[in-house]
């Protein structure tokens, strides 16, 4: 019934050094082989895709550069075309402090006088040297062994001055005017990693201090990149934006991110929720399908976000989610037409029109151009802290495009909003699809009493459960 390609695939965390020293008989085949097979769909899906990665200067200051470059080199080896934009906020601050020169900010942006510009140029030159050196390492028994990664940098960015804003002269601080996307494409097509420093130049040759976030976002839009990924000091966007104790929201629809951004105060620091979120929203508005906020403090964050089902940070998705919504009475006919073939071949239990009309408020649908292409229903059992997801269906016309993933995500959100701890499904043919998305098989005796009384023992449906508890 569901042949939808996964957006993410659950895999174990990558091996630490201790695990790498275990005997081969212990590691293989019980962990490595299933892991590698699970990653394979993403290796296929992302080969030839373009990722723009923004690395905060704080990550380099925290000593994360070597591990980050190793992970980026792995993505490069998998055929992903990479543009890397680095930041240098703490490095510029350190240079200014060494010279005894004060740093000044306004509305969260650095004011760049002549001394600050000199410090920024020194910091950028040093970081470029360190990054290129990191990509050149090839020590045995490390991910860089046998790696050959060429790094190309240059004057790919044309900039303009910020100017005077609210009476504040920002001096040599600038904004991206144009990205030489054709030159960058030629470089990444040749197999090189393109390195962008947060500097741009005017047509007259004047240098401007830019922000890494704007450089990465503008470049991702100009290239129409498949992903924009920020490695930052923040873990992502919390489900309750003002509550750092609430869980990280692993996926935000663009419309939802825009609503959240409108309700948040204007950011003044990189750790403010809206600081990176606004760049993710801008990228998605500009045609980048997915943008990510990842914590550099988590070892392997880049690999986990790209190659695991749940990821580790927050992803903003331009899914045109006006088509993903709760159903209304007008959708009954479309739902019936969608599920009828699966009822006829025995994949699904037959549902009468009156039953769907009665329960229409429980349904979520995906609609494209007035046609229902996917649906699912949610039946809560609050006394047991769980809910059943039923009738999850995607039209064969759009399978393998991720609609099943999007419906599942929305149903999970609805269940969480009800305060439930889990959801479950009954299936006879799609067990593996659910396993890949975090479900586990349980005995039918696990079912809530009210649902157990309606369980068809002759059909022998498998019961799959996904828990929200950490």
pLDDT in tens, 340-379: 998 888 888 889 999 999 999 999 998 875 778 899 999 9
Per-residue pLDDT tens digits for 410-463: 999 999 999 999 999 999 988 999 999 999 999 999 999 999 999 998 889 999
pLDDT for the residue 369: 58
Enumerate the domain spans of the chain. 17-321, 324-467
Better-predicted residue by pLDDT, 373 or 85: 85
For 203-257, how does the pLDDT look when each residue is reduced to its tens digit (9 = 90+)? 888 999 999 999 999 999 999 999 999 999 988 888 777 677 788 888 888 888 9
Residue 389 has pLDDT above 50, yes or no: yes
Mean pLDDT across 107-124: 93
Report pLDDT for 201.
92
Residue 310 CA: distances (Å) to CA of 42, 188, 431, 433, 468? 14, 29, 19, 15, 12
Residue 346 buriedness (CB in 10 A; 0-12 / 13-18 / 19+)? exposed
Tell me how crowded residue 178 is: count the other CB atoms within 10 A of its CB. Answer: 14
- Cα 304 from Cα 237, distance rounded (Å): 17
Pairwise pLDDT comparison (102 vs 403), residue with the higher score: 102
Lowest mean pLDDT across 6-10, 72-76, 246-250: 6-10
Q: Domain 17-321 carries which CATH code?
A: 3.40.1160.10
Which tens digit of pLDDT belongs to each residue from 273-313?
Answer: 889 999 999 999 998 989 999 999 999 999 988 887 667 88
- CA–CA gap between residue 376 and residue 371 (Å, rounded): 15
CATH hierarchy code of domain 324-467: 3.40.630.30
pLDDT at 144: 66
Separation of alpha carbons 209 and 198, rounded Å: 6
- CB contact set of 321 (below 8 Å; sequence gap of 6+): 253, 254, 255, 256, 406
Can you tell me the distance from the alpha carbon of 205 to that of 261, in angstroms, rounded to the nearest whole number?
36
Is the CB of residue 387 less than 8 Å from the CB of residue 380?
A: yes
* Cβ contacts of 192 within 8 Å, gap of 6 or more: 149, 150, 151, 152
The proportion of the chain whose per-residue pLDDT surpasses 90, expressed as a percent, equals 61
Is the pLDDT confidence value at 188 over 50?
Answer: yes
For residue 13, pLDDT beyond 70: no
By C-alpha distance, which of 127, 265, 156, 276 is closest to 219? 156
């Amino acid at each position: 019934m569901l042949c939808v390609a996964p957006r993410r695939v659950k895999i174990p965390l990558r091996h630490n050094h201790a695990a790498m020293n275990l005997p081969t008989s212990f590691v293989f085949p019980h962990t490595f082989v299933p892991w590698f097979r699970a990653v394979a769909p993403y290796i296929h899906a992302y080969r030839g895709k373009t990722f723009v990665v923004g690395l905060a200067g704080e990550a380099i200051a925290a000593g994360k550069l070597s591990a980050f470059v190793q992970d980026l080199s792995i993505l490069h080896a998998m055929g992903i075309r990479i543009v890397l934009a680095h930041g240098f906020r703490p490095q510029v601050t350190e240079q200014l402090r060494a010279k005894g020169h004060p740093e000044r900010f306004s509305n969260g942006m650095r004011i760049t006088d002549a001394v600050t510009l000199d410090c920024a140029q020194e910091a950028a030159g040093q970081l470029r040297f360190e990054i290129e050196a990191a990509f050149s390492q090839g020590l045995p028994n490390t991910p860089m062994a046998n790696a050959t990664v060429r790094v190309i940098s240059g004057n790919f960015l044309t900039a303009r001055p910020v100017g005077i804003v609210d009476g504040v002269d920002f001096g040599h601080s600038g904004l991206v005017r144009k990205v030489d996307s054709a030159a960058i494409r030629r470089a990444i097509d040749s197999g090189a990693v393109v390195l962008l420093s947060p500097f741009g130049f005017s047509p007259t040759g004047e240098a401007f201090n830019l922000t890494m976030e704007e450089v990465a976002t503008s470049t991702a839009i100009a290239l129409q990149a498949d992903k924009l990924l920020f490695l930052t000091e923040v873990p992502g966007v919390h489900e309750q934006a003002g509550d750092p104790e609430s869980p990280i929201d692993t996926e935000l629809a663009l419309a939802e991110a825009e609503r959240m951004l409108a309700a948040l105060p204007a950011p003044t620091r990189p750790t403010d929720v809206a600081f990176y979120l606004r760049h993710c929203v801008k990228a998605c508005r500009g045609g980048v399908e997915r943008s990510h906020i990842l914590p550099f403090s988590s070892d392997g964050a880049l690999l986990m976000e790209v190659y695991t089902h749940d990821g580790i940070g927050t992803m903003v998705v331009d899914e045109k989610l006006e088509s993903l919504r709760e159903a209304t009475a007008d959708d009954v006919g479309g739902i019936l037409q969608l599920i009828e073939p699966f009822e006829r071949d025995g994949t699904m239990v037959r549902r009468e029109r009156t039953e769907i009309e009665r329960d229409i408020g429980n349904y979520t649908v995906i609609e494209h151009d007035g046609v229902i292409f996917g649906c699912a229903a949610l039946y809560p059992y609050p006394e047991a802290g769980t809910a059943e997801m039923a009738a999850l269906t995607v039209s064969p016309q759009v399978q393998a495009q991720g609609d099943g993933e999007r419906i599942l995500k929305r149903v999970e959100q609805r269940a969480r909003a009800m305060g439930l701890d889990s959801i479950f499904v009954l299936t006879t043919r799609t067990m593996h699809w659910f396993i890949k998305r975090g479900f586990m098989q349980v005995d039918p005796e696990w079912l809530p009493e009210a649902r157990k009384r309606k369980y068809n023992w002759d059909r022998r449906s498998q019961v799959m459960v996904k828990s929200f508890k950490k």
